[in-house]
Structure 1
């Protein structure tokens, strides 16, 4: 196993696996696993997925995984922590904040487990992902200015590819292709504007899609089995779970960013949906 570079929030390792000698294990960080060569099964949370050269997997700190090797394999493993997405606010406020990238990737972090095995199936994008991994590997030879930023931006691009393919695979099972496109458009609009209280008003969503408020509400309910307001609320609470697991934001900070009245209001809604308060959920998830 060779570690090519290691920084506070980003590390890359090339690992050769000859046999099944690693028990299932978790990491304290996120991982992109790229299969450089070989074949076998990637066991993730007791589910077995075939892997081969060119496959790409995303693991979060909650995932338990190992490899069952059929042909000796080589993997490029990119590790990055939650701080990869974060920055600290003004010194006088000493406030931990999240970059816009984290807001874009939250959807991926709480939906990636619904994707079966290798994330990128499209051949053209598989080629792009492999080229990005090769470029990331080549940065190990660079001692020139900008090595750290170039490496981070390559990882950003990989994450965006992963995000695109996860979104493609998580489309509602609707009655017709036309309905599918329409509802997916509404869902995408909600995800893109989840931090904009005004944009998320049903009347403004309806206006964006050139529909009446009553029509779009009824249509969404008929096609998905849930109301638009219920979907927005459920999605926000899923994002709360993601923030509690993968960021250091305080619960009051999460409440403010996602437009809950206060921490008490957030805890009340969170408990109603998940059976525990947000604070209790974070403590249990982090073993506190």
Structure 2
């Protein structure tokens, strides 16, 4: 399978075609794809998903995809790497957390985001603004980044796990997404709180998760939190005190203990 490699932190691509030119492929970056016009089929990991104007897709390096075009289609691509996600200026915790959540939980929305009518209009305007900034990427770098963060906020609030209780799913992907969203809020990850959120009993929550995930709820949360903590430390941009505050931890020593325990658990497996 062909694999496209991108070395620039971010690229913007805008093109219109009546026939797709690329084979099924993967890439080493993330892609936020906006359908400006047209319709057809988006094949992601061998699953066929109809697309139309106004749809948005978020793909990661693991996804293999291509398009089958019915009506001439215009695509706008925002392609960014981990380097761009973790660049030095990214110091707005809340918005970075939104983007991290979307990237980690994208399995839920590989079929495309089902946006509300008002959000569809807003997203269209944002992509028009991004295109207006495209010709001078260096000069407009920060403005482009601000639009990506705004898009992540809009897309996140259209995730099915965050809708009203009557439409809330209880499947494992919904539970994973809940964990990813609340990893910065330890109190929201207590078993009794999660059980109430998903309308199941506290005693059933732990066994249900282990049976379907192959690991305990506590171990999964610890592993995911530890992975994020390591990314923060590796970036060299945050002190342990800042990291502890972001993740709702007691102090700097708590950060170190979590990472040490995760490393110990991995080495014992």
TM-score scaled by length of structure 2 = 0.67
The secondary structure found in structure 1 opposite 2:63 is coil
Of the two, which has the highest radius of gyration?
1
Give the drift of 1:74: 1.2
Unmatched runs of 5 consecutive residues or more in structure 2:
1-5, 211-215, 235-239, 248-254
| CA separation of 1:249 and 1:24: change in aligned 2, threshold 3 A | farther
For 1:220 and 1:171, how far apart are their aligned partners in 2? 22
Instruction: Tell me what 1:139 maps to.
Output: 133
Instruction: Tell me what 2:122 maps to.
Output: 128
For 2:229 and 2:31, how far apart are their aligned partners in 1? 18
For 1:151 and 1:31, how far apart are their aligned partners in 2? 15
For 2:190 and 2:71, how far apart are their aligned partners in 1? 54
Give the drift of 1:47: 1.1
* Equivalent residues in 2 for 1:203-222, closer than 5 Å: 219-222=201-204
For 2:228 and 2:46, how far apart are their aligned partners in 1? 22
Instruction: Tell me what 2:144 maps to.
Output: 151
Instruction: Tell me what 2:250 maps to.
Output: none
Give the drift of 1:125: 1.0
Paired residues of 1:86 and 1:99 also in contact (CA < 8 A)? no
Give the drift of 1:19: 1.5
Listed one character per residue, the Cα deviations across residues 100-159 of structure 1 (whole Å, up to 9, x for unaligned) are 24333332222211225121332221111111101111223679x962221111111111
Unmatched runs of 5 consecutive residues or more in structure 1:
1-5, 90-96, 212-217, 251-255, 276-288
Give the drift of 1:190: 6.2
Give the drift of 1:51: 0.7
The secondary structure found in structure 2 opposite 1:67 is strand
Instruction: Tell me what 1:266 maps to.
Output: 262
Paired residues of 2:99 and 2:149 also in contact (CA < 8 A)? no
Instruction: Tell me what 2:237 maps to.
Output: none
TM-score scaled by length of structure 1 = 0.63
Paired residues of 1:41 and 1:68 also in contact (CA < 8 A)? yes
Decide which of 151, 154, 157 is 1:161's aligned counterpart: 154
For 2:232 and 2:143, how far apart are their aligned partners in 1? 26
* Equivalent residues in 2 for 1:196-235, closer than 5 Å: 199=187, 202=190, 219-222=201-204, 225-226=208-209, 230-235=216-221
Paired residues of 1:106 and 1:239 also in contact (CA < 8 A)? no
Paired residues of 1:237 and 1:270 also in contact (CA < 8 A)? no
